[in-house]
A and B are shown apart, each in its own frame.
Chain A
Amino acid sequence: MAFSGNMYNSLYYHFSPTYRYSVGIESVEDKFFNQQYSYFRFTYLLNRRNTENSQGNLYFQSGLSSDGLDGHFYGLHGDWETRRWFIGFNYRDVKNSLKNYTDQFLQVGVAPYLGAYGDFHTWIMIKTKKNTLLGDWSTFPVLKFFKGNFLIEFGYNDQTEWDAQVMYRF
């Protein structure tokens, strides 16, 4: 998974031995502190609720920086989706040798059409995010597309500029 935003760019490779947890390495180019480091990441599924028409997930996420124990993060990620609707959030508390901060977002979306399995799928979303290093919330539209094992998501805001994510599932 590759991510590019106003605060950092990253490349994240992770492996899930079971659907309950994943381990991985995220290589980060920190634009704010002008640093480069890696996170050894661990994500654990705290709760999943499957129904006929929906799935809800709550994850614990954490990362330990290659710079040492002073650099780490932990937080929660949650989402709930049907074939038509999506809502998700992310909260991270980041400890850094220079300054600690929190990073969070909330995202809601709707699928304009319901594609069949294997089709080209689309989500139209609104994302609002806040990083305490920057202060205010920033809200912007996001488009998400996927087909097969490939997913791309991007949004744009004139304050925070591009927010993009590309994912491939092996």
Chain B
Amino acid sequence: MKILLAFVFLLPALGNAQDTHDHHSHEGHLHEQMVDGEKLEVDVERFDKFVKGLKDKQIAVVSVKGMVCDFCAQGIEKTFKKDKTVAKIDVDLNKGKVFIAYQMNTKIDFEKIKKMIVSNGQNATKLQVLKL
């Protein structure tokens, strides 16, 4: 039982272990850009890591309701990965956002995104698009 308890108390360190190696880059400060007069409400480190190395892309930042569980959000990633116009996707559970990188010539359709999110059981409520 003591071993089990010790294991449980060490879990937070295990869960966050990969974060200790990631240092927040302030290069570019893309997350501080205003989109349609509003600041992006994103997990800064997650977003900076997502856009690192991306060029000539549009980033759709989608606000999603009901996305509280990693296991459930896996389905969102799978759904968008089937879309050939999507270059990259990531999920920001802390802020309830989905980041989707599209090619620059793709017309981003929020209604289509809403349908894809709802097919997984969550609701997309807002779209902000950032051009790199």
Which A residues fall within an 8 A CB radius of B? 18-19, 45, 48-55, 81-83, 112-122, 124, 143, 146-149, 151, 169
Enumerate 29 A-B pairs (CB-CB under 8 Å) in ascending A order.
A19-B119, A19-B120, A19-B121, A45-B121, A48-B66, A50-B123, A55-B67, A55-B122, A81-B69, A112-B11, A112-B12, A113-B15, A113-B16, A114-B93, A116-B46, A117-B46, A117-B91, A117-B92, A117-B93, A118-B70, A120-B11, A120-B14, A120-B15, A121-B70, A122-B15, A124-B8, A146-B71, A149-B71, A169-B74
8 A Cβ contacts from B65-80 to A:
65-75
Which residue of the partner chain, among A81, A119, A149, contacts B15 with CB atoms under 8 Å?
A: A119
Docked CA distance A60–B19 (Å):
40
Docked CA distance A28–B30 (Å):
54
The interface residues of chain B lying within 8 Å CB-to-CB of A124 are 8
Docked CA distance A82–B72 (Å):
12
Range of interface residues on B (Cβ < 8 Å): 35 or more
The interface residues of chain B lying within 8 Å CB-to-CB of A53 are 68, 96
Docked CA distance A149–B69 (Å):
12
Contact with A along B56-92 (1 / 0, CB 8 A): 0000000001111111111100000000000000111
Q: A50-B122, A52-B65 are in contact. Are A117 and B12 (CB under 8 A)?
A: no
Tell me if B18 counts as interface (CB < 8 A to partner A).
Answer: yes
Docked CA distance A120–B71 (Å):
11
The interface residues of chain A lying within 8 Å CB-to-CB of B16 are 113, 115, 119
- Residue of B whose beta carbon sits closest to that of A120: B15
The interface residues of chain A lying within 8 Å CB-to-CB of B43 are 116
Closest Cβ–Cβ distance, residue A159 to chain B (whole Å): 17
B46→A122 contact, CB < 8 A: no
Tell me if B106 counts as interface (CB < 8 A to partner A).
Answer: no
A146→B15 contact, CB < 8 A: no
Docked CA distance A52–B125 (Å):
10
Closest Cβ–Cβ distance, residue B86 to chain A (whole Å): 16
- Residue of A whose beta carbon sits closest to that of B75: A169
Docked CA distance A127–B12 (Å):
22
8 A Cβ contacts from B1-40 to A:
4, 8-9, 11-12, 14-16, 18-19
Tell me if B105 counts as interface (CB < 8 A to partner A).
Answer: no
- Enumerate the 4 nearest inter-chain pairs by beta-carbon distance, A residue then B residue, closest first: A50-B66, A113-B12, A19-B121, A117-B91
A143→B8 contact, CB < 8 A: yes
